[in-house]
Structure 1
C-alpha cells in the first residue's frame, strides 16, 4: 500500500473520530442542560418543603392542577414533595454518572484523534522528504 493511500485511510478515520467526538460533545451539552433543569427543580422543591414544614397541622394546602387549585392534605403534600425531591436527586446522580462516562469517552476520543494527527503528520513529513 502506498503512503498516500495510507494517509487517505488515516484521514477518513480521523474524520470519523472527529464526528464521534462532536456527537459526544453534543451529548455532554445536552446532559448539562437537563442537569441544570433538574437542579432548578430540586431547589424549588426544597423551598416548598421548607414552607410546608413551617405550616401548622390544620393549615390549608392547595395544589395547582392545570388551571385549578385543588385542596390537598398537608401530610400528602409533604410526602409528594419528598418523593419528588428523592426522584430528582436520583436523576441528578444518574446524570452525573452519565456525564462522567461521556467525559471519559470524550477524553479517549481526543487522545485517539491526537495520535492519528501525529501519525498523519509524520507520514506526510516522510513523504515530503522522499
Structure 2
C-alpha cells in the first residue's frame, strides 16, 4: 500500500515536471515566432536599402522623430540586426531541441511508473 502511494506521488511529480517542460517549449516557440517575424522585416528593409542610390536620403525613426542616417551606416545596422536575430534563432532551436529531448525522457519515465503501478495493482487483485 505504501509502495503504491509512493508511486502515485512519483507519477504526480513527473507529470508536473512534464507540464513545466511543455510550457517552456510553448514559450520558446512564441519567442521564436517573434524573432522569425523580425528577421523577415529586417531582410525586407535590407532589400529596400540595396535598391537605393548612394546619395539617397535615409531616415531612422527614433521615438517620435525621424533622424537622417548615412546609407552605409543604415545598411551596416540592419545587417548586424539580421546577424543577431539569426544567432538568437539558432540558440532557440538548440534550446527547444534540448527541451523536447527532456520531454520525451519524462514521458518515458511516466510510462514506466504507470506500468509499475498497474503491475502492483494487478498483483493486489490476485491476492
What TM-score do the two structures reach when normalised by structure 2? Answer: 0.99
Give 1:56's aligned residue.
Answer: 53
* Offset, 1:129: 1.1
- Equivalent of 2:89 in 88, 92, 96: 92
**1:32 & 1:73 partners in 2: Cα distance?**
36
Give 1:83's aligned residue.
Answer: 80
Number of residue-to-residue matches in the alignment = 127
Q: Tell me which stretches of 4 or more aligned residues in structure 1 moved more than 3 Å.
A: none
**2:122 & 2:64 partners in 1: Cα distance?**
70
**1:29 & 1:122 partners in 2: Cα distance?**
34
Secondary structure of the residue that 2:60 maps to in structure 1? strand
**1:65 & 1:18 partners in 2: Cα distance?**
47
Q: Does 1:66 align with 2:63?
A: yes
Give 1:26's aligned residue.
Answer: 23
Q: Deviations over 1:2-53 (max 9, x none)?
A: xx11010011000000000000000000000000000000000000000000
**2:68 & 2:115 partners in 1: Cα distance?**
67
Q: Deviations over 1:50-108 (max 9, x none)?
A: 00000000000000111111100000000000000000000000000000000000000
What TM-score do the two structures reach when normalised by structure 1? Answer: 0.97
Stretches of structure 2 that go unaligned for 5 or more consecutive residues are none
RMSD over aligned CA atoms reads 0.4
Secondary structure of the residue that 2:61 maps to in structure 1? strand
